[in-house]
Amino acid sequence: MADRTRRGVLAAAASLPLLAVSGCKGVGALAPPPRPGPDVRVLRAAIAAEEAMIARYGTAITRFPGLAKTLAGLRAEHRLHLAELRTRLVIPPGSPYRSGFTSPSPRPAGSPGAAAALPAGQAAALDFLQTAEDSAAAALLRGLPSVPPSLAQLLASVAASESTHVAVLRSAAG
């Protein structure tokens, strides 16, 4: 119940500019729409980070088939993280803050951008992924003060999951 209520609040906050525009005389009479709150910004960053991790794992799975089973398992958990994070933020179509932070799908595995983010060799790639997981978890923890309790719990859980990924990657690296 608390989560549902909070989701409603986040969605309402994101839609404020639209409501203001539709309920008043014109855009010119309005002050600039309020910027998204800190909790929305934390969510945006978390969503973007998950998308980037999924892309990196996609590249790694393609390049290193011998590690595919292990890496696919970790990627599957990132996909679950991403799906849940996206449910916490509803941005109405047409919102001035919609674009640029909720891409409809992760960058395709093996795309030039994703490949550029991953070193070529297996050992270096595993090391890179460890660092990326560690950094992602740390970023989530930095966001905890800015979000309401139910979202803090989700972020902390995702961060804990990503911390466990580091150990798996370290083991895979031998």
Partner 1 sequence: MSGTAVGPGTVSALQAALAAEHAAVYGYGVAGAYLDGPARTAATADWYAHQVARDTLEAMLRQAGAKPVAAAPAYQLPHKVNGPVSATALAVLLENRVTAAYLGVVAVSDLAVRQFGARAMAAAAGRAASWRGRTVAFPGFPPSAFS
Residue numbers of the site for partner 1 (CB under 8 A)? 73-74, 76-77, 80-81, 83-84, 137, 141, 144-145, 149-150, 152-161, 163-165, 167-168
Query: What DSSP state is assigned to residue 170?
Result: H
Q: Which C-beta is closer to partner 1: that of 115 or that of 173?
A: 173
Rounded Cα–Cα distance for residues 75 and 67 (Å): 12
Q: Return the C-alpha torsion angle 120, 121, 122, 125, nearest 10.
A: -50
Q: Which C-beta is closer to partner 1: that of 70 or that of 102?
A: 70
Helix or strand holding residue 169 (H, E): helix 149-173
Q: Which C-beta is closer to partner 1: that of 66 or that of 145?
A: 145
Q: Which residue has the tokens 């991790």?
A: 53
| Alpha-carbon radius of gyration of the chain | 18
Q: Which C-beta is closer to partner 1: that of 129 or that of 159?
A: 159
Rounded Cα–Cα distance for residues 102 and 92 (Å): 11
Q: Which C-beta is closer to partner 1: that of 2 or that of 19?
A: 2
What is the nearest approach in angstroms of partner 1 to the Cβ of residue 170? 11
What is the nearest approach in angstroms of partner 1 to the Cβ of residue 108? 22
Tokens of residue 111, six digits: 């795309």
Q: What distances in angstroms separate CA 105 from CA 83, 128, 139, 174, one per listed residue?
A: 11, 23, 22, 33
